[in-house]
Amino acid sequence: MGKPTGFLEYMRETPVDRTPLERIKDWSEFHLRMDERKLRNQGARCMDCGVPFCQTGKLISGMAAGCPIHNLIPEFNDLVYRGLWRQAYERLNKTNNFPDFTGRVCPAPCEGSCVLGITSPPVAIKNNEYAIIERAFEEGWVLPHEPRTRTGKKIAIIGSGPSGLAAAEQLNSAGHTVAIYERADRPGGLLMYGIPNMKLDKREVVLRRIELMKQAGVTIYCNADIGDHIPPQELLAEHDALILCTGATQPRNLPVEGRQLEGVHYAMEFLTSSTKALLSENAPAITARDKHVIVIGGGDTGTDCVGTSLRQGCRSVTQIEIMPKPPLERQPGNPWPEWPKVLKTDYGQEEAIARQGADPRVFQTTVKKLQGDSQGRLQSIVTVQVKWDKNDKGQFIPVEQPGTEKELPAQLVLIAMGFLGPEQPLLKELSIETDARSNIKAEHERHRTNHPKIFAAGDCRRGQSLVVWAINEGRAAARECDRYLMGATQLP
């Protein structure tokens, strides 16, 4: 512990963002950098707790409490406080393959479980992580992890999202020959097409990391749709093991009248087309320009749709959330170190407030129907307020409240209601067993499917989750795959 009284002397500080009305004019990342003195002060606030809950990574009440990849947080905070940046990077690199991703997009469950957070604002852990990795890139400390020898074992990974990339980097470092197969035209999975550029820059951050992996010996094939372009059984026969990292890409639908109208899209269709248009000038895009936009869903993906719509020049944007408005502070039923279920005003809502003068979110509301013109083009939606009551089984369900219907203009509706699980055709071709939620059946920390040569990691195994959980899964699947191939493993 670098400064025993640091948590008493310094308040929490995070980077200043570019102003909302300025940043919606471009697609650049909007966080500004903090100077070293302030970063070191934040490191000094870390209390070196007897039990550092920030790095536990357990599920409490179904939510992450602490860092899922068990970052050595008190250690790297102390090293930041002391100005030992190279050592801080080495500590961070022990547990996290991609702090350049998590330092930008992770919701920081570590901070929700910070012991200091019981009585004061928590340590700014996420920003210190970001500062460490960016300093490491600037200083040239981040190098390709090329192994000294090769084992002769060949592994195929289907999917280049965070779990696939983490598994690939770990297995490559163990000396195996790793090939990633990605069906999209660019690698990265949701890092490339599911998260917009202003949160995670594609060229400067995602492709920077992928290029390092290629230099280390990982091969990545794009436009390689296993089950369509490449027979899965053929891929399996040519490799010693296969890891499925396909994600949970089946979106939850909105089964209401008018769903078929022109102008109704899944959120991922919209976000993907927006990023493709940004990276390739001639790529067609679903655009929000000059339209009234309705985003259905209150999660991170919904927020990304709000921010993207504003940058595209929408006339207005409204975000509809079926759940009640969260409280401003922790409630007795949501104690530390659980993830704090409090109202969060994210970047998209901040921008909408600055542009429109009010929070775009409407809580405890659902869409009753979509209405179009004679050409089948979306024109408006009808919403209704709901109340959450228990049914005869004791389950909470939304109940429509009569007389609360409202019509809103809409030329673009974006469905951001989450995902139901992985796509099934590939799993059926490989005869992979699934659980009751249609996810791949493979025990956590074991990750082996019913086929002895096939492992699974990430959202396709655990369901829709966080980037940091995907990295955890990829590392664990790599460890078990290495154990299967070699009889033992030294992978962490």
Residue 337 preceded by cis peptide, ω within 30: yes
Residues of the chain falling short of pLDDT 50: none
Distance, CA of 171 to CA of 147 (rounded, Å):
10
pLDDT of residue 2: 67
Residues sharing a CB contact under 8 Å with residue 126, sequence separation 6 or more, in sequence order:
102, 103, 106, 108, 110, 111
CA-based nearest residue to 167, from 415, 434, 484, 430: 484
CB 482: neighbour CB atoms within 10 A? 25
Question: Residues with Cβ < 8 Å from 479, sequence gap 6 or more?
Answer: 170, 489, 491, 492
**How much is the pLDDT for 284?**
76
Which domains are present in the chain? 6-139 (1.10.1060.10), 154-249+420-486 (3.50.50.60), 253-417 (3.50.50.60)
Q: What is the mean pLDDT of the chain?
A: 95
- Return all residues near 81 (Cβ < 8 A) that are at least 6 apart: 2, 3, 6, 40, 41, 43, 44, 46
Q: Can you tell me whether residue 353 is helix, strand or coil?
A: helix
Residue type, position 477, single letter? A
> Could you write out the DSSP letters of every residue in 280-314?
STT------TTSEEEEE--SHHHHHHHHHHHHHT-
pLDDT reported for residue 210:
97
pLDDT at 166: 98
Classify 484 as helix, strand or coil.
Answer: helix
Within 8 A by CB and 6+ apart from 364, the residues are 321, 322, 323, 324, 325, 385, 386, 387, 388, 398
Q: What is the pLDDT of residue 293?
A: 98
